[in-house]
């Protein structure tokens, strides 16, 4: 599913859009985006000030990231200190962030498309990465930069709101 309401390409190629989940009010927008291969929490709002606050005011976004290979403490250190990646072809220095090794999460919703089989393709590791920024494909570029390509990316938390107790495609109305 694409985290948008209008498809901007000429051909849709069987992509589902957010509007297919519910009868949302006019003027609704997503707060930030998730790329098509990512999953997890996404806020929707009709309040532009709220959207700006979440995307531009240092609100934490925590991602659970399954990476290819064994993540080591030195990888965690490099990621947490910030590193240079490319955003739209230009060098970008990421801000320092919180990075921790974690056990594989339990009770995640099953993916529509399976991640490869570890028995056939090698070991993977899980990281928790908490950012206060959100550049284009930033987490994927950061893990690749330290030699740990991202296999699965889940936005677990925005601010204090998490995906705990939620299932794929759940829509929960909240008034903040």
Q: Which residues are catalytic?
A: 35
Q: In whole angstroms, give the CA distance from residue 68 to residue 126.
A: 9
Contacts of 116 (CB under 8 A, 6+ apart): 151
What is the C-alpha separation between 30 and 4, in angstroms, rounded?
7
- Residue 68 tokens read as 């290819």
For residue 171, what are the CA distances in angstroms to 28, 45, 127, 157? 13, 12, 26, 15
Contact 150, 65 (CB under 8 A): yes
């Amino acid at each position: 599913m694409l985290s948008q309401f209008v498809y901007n390409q000429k051909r849709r190629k069987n992509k589902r859009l957010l509007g297919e989940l519910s009868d949302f009010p006019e003027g609704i927008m997503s707060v930030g985006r998730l790329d098509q291969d990512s999953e997890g929490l996404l806020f929707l709002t009709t309040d532009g000030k709220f959207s700006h606050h979440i995307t531009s005011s240092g609100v934490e976004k925590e991602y659970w990231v399954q990476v290819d290979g064994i993540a080591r403490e030195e990888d965690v250190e490099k990621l947490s200190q910030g590193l240079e990646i490319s955003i739209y072809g230009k060098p970008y220095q990421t801000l320092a962030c919180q990075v921790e090794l974690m056990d594989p999460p339990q009770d995640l919703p099953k993916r529509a498309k399976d991640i490869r089989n570890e028995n056939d393709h090698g070991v993977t590791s899980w990281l928790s990465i908490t950012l206060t920024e959100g550049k284009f494909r930033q987490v994927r570029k950061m893990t690749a930069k330290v030699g740990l390509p991202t296999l699965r990316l889940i936005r677990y938390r925005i601010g204090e709101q998490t995906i705990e107790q939620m299932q794929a495609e759940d829509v929960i109305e909240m008034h903040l």
